[in-house]
Amino acid sequence: MFTGYAQRGIRFREAVGRLAETIQKRQQPEKTEKKIRLLLTGGGTGGHLFPAVAAAEQFVKGFPDTEILFVGTKRKMDAGILAEYGFNSAAVHCYGLKGKSLLKLVFALVSLPWAYMQSLWLVRRFRPDCILGVGGYVTGPVIAAGKTLGVACIIHEQNSLPGLANRQLGRIADRVCLSLPGPEHFFDAKKIVYTGNPVRESIRQLAKKTRPGNAEKCCLLVLGGSLGAEALNRLLPEAAALLPAAQKARLRVIHQTGVEREAGVAEAYKKSGVEALAEPFIKEMAEVYAQADFVVSRAGATTLAELSVAGKPAILIPYPYAADNHQKKNAECYVQGKGALLHVQEQLTPEKLAIEIERLLVDAKLRDEMSSAMKKLSSPDAAERIVACCLECIQACE
């Protein structure tokens, strides 16, 4: 299923790769040449921000003088993540429209003109050569402001079913970068570029390394997304408690719980008799991916992209309240590729989950097969493809 997209991606890279080299050579000889200014917009969750970070890292790697500005939300998570990577950031006051009460919907609509004016001011001040939107409601006013001012605008859709903001922005964007099969019919075919979902450099480097196995312990990584997941916090310790004593002794768990949930989850694992480390939020994902033998996770697009690049077998439990149930559609792509197992949260019991965990715990051959399948579904060069797409649009607007 992914083969066609990979072939198109290869043809695209060959076409724009020469363009990227030409632009890079043109920039290097003369120091007076204009620097590239890239504005990235999106956020609200790590799933939106980390692909933007990956694209920014690749831009800086290829063009060290690139000036980058992230425009996100007022959430502390956005500012905290960006500060760690040393990127300049700004925030726009706006609110999502989908799934809101009538009062909140009216408030969000009333705030849109102000968000647009803020975005106009930020774009005028920064004067970007290109704007890359990575999803989330904040992308709407920023991309709209960019198009008003004649800036090249690109959106990146991470999910197999596009969100409301990207569906609308696809009409005015110069290019639409896709990560998974599914969203094609929402966008103009002439604008579509299949790039995959970029992951951070540290995780890409992990894929190149061979980790020695641990015959005594098998590590299970539990990810509920950057905000955690209450259902997983409950299900996993209960399932662990049901494992046979011999398997409990072999299992070690690293569990991302969400803020202020770690103490309760750690206590539940202690009662289950399974060794576990509970963390509210894991910053160094490459390190824990390196330790993990298999994963239980939600099915956010960015997490799935990271799991596939890292080659980690996964039991996927999609968040049931995600917009348009897009996490389930994301998961199905990886299940069909034989890299993951899928369970619907409403139908999943601790007993069923314990059976699946034990199955992967004892069957190293199955883990290896799923790991290989995951890697085949990955797009480790997604960041390069997105950078090339941005360069093409910048040149077209000159």
- Residues 224, 330 share a domain: yes
Kindly state whether residue 26 falls inside one of the protein's structural domains: no
Closest Cα partner for 158 from 181, 141, 174, 139?
A: 181
Q: Is residue 93 in some structural domain?
A: yes
Q: Tell me which residue has tokens 């001011």.
A: 121
Residues 116 and 225 in one domain: no
For residue range 12-48, what is the model confidence (pLDDT) as tens digits? 445 445 444 544 444 443 433 568 999 999 876 656 7
Tell whether 41 and 148 lie within a shared domain: yes
Q: What percent of the chain has pLDDT over 90?
A: 66
Decide if 28 is inside a domain: no
Domain that holds residue 344: 204-376
On whether the CB atoms of residues 211 and 379 are closer than 8 A, the answer is no
Has residue 314 been placed in a domain? yes
Position 2 scores a pLDDT of 57
- Is the confidence at residue 314, as pLDDT, over 90? yes
The model's pLDDT over 109-150, given as tens digits with 9 standing for 90+, comes to 777 889 999 999 999 999 999 999 998 888 999 999 999 999
| Residue 179 resides in a domain | yes
Determine the Cα–Cα distance for residues 251 and 229; give it in Å rounded to an integer.
Answer: 21
For residues 49 and 162, membership in a common domain is answered with yes
- The answer to whether residue 58 is domain-embedded is yes
Beta bridge partners of 68: 38
Q: What is the mean pLDDT of residues 320-339?
A: 93
pLDDT band at 214 (very low <50, low <70, confident <90, very high): low
pLDDT for residue 240 is more than 70: yes
What is the tens place of the pLDDT at every residue in 285-303?
999 999 999 999 999 999 9
Q: Are residues 293 and 347 in the same domain?
A: yes
User: Domain with 282 in it: what CATH number?
Assistant: 3.40.50.2000
Mean pLDDT of the region 369-382: 96
pTM for the whole structure: 0.84
Verify that 389 and 312 share a domain, yes or no.
Answer: no
Question: Do 186 and 274 lie in a common domain?
Answer: no
Domain annotation covers residue 30: no
Of the candidate ranges 226-230, 274-278, 296-300, the one whose mean pLDDT is the lowest: 226-230
- Which of 245-249, 279-283, 315-319 shows the lowest per-residue confidence on average (mean pLDDT)? 279-283
Domain count, the chain: 2
3-class SS of residue 351:
helix
- Are 398 and 151 spatial neighbours (Cβ–Cβ below 8 Å)? no
Average the pLDDT over 163-168 and give the result. Answer: 88
Mean pLDDT estimate for the chain: 87
Q: Are residues 265 and 226 in the same domain?
A: yes
List C-alpha distances in Å: 383 to 156, 203, 249, 316, 395.
Answer: 11, 12, 40, 25, 19
Note whether residue 27 is domain-resident: no
Burial 95-125 (b: 16+ CB within 10 A, else e): bbeeeeeeeeeeebeebbeebbebbbebbee
Q: Are residues 95 and 244 in the same domain?
A: no
Within this chain, do residues 128 and 257 fall inside the same structural domain, yes or no? no
Mean pLDDT, range 326-336, rounded to an integer: 96
Verify that 171 and 212 share a domain, yes or no.
no
* Judgement on whether residues 156 and 296 belong to the same structural domain of the protein: no
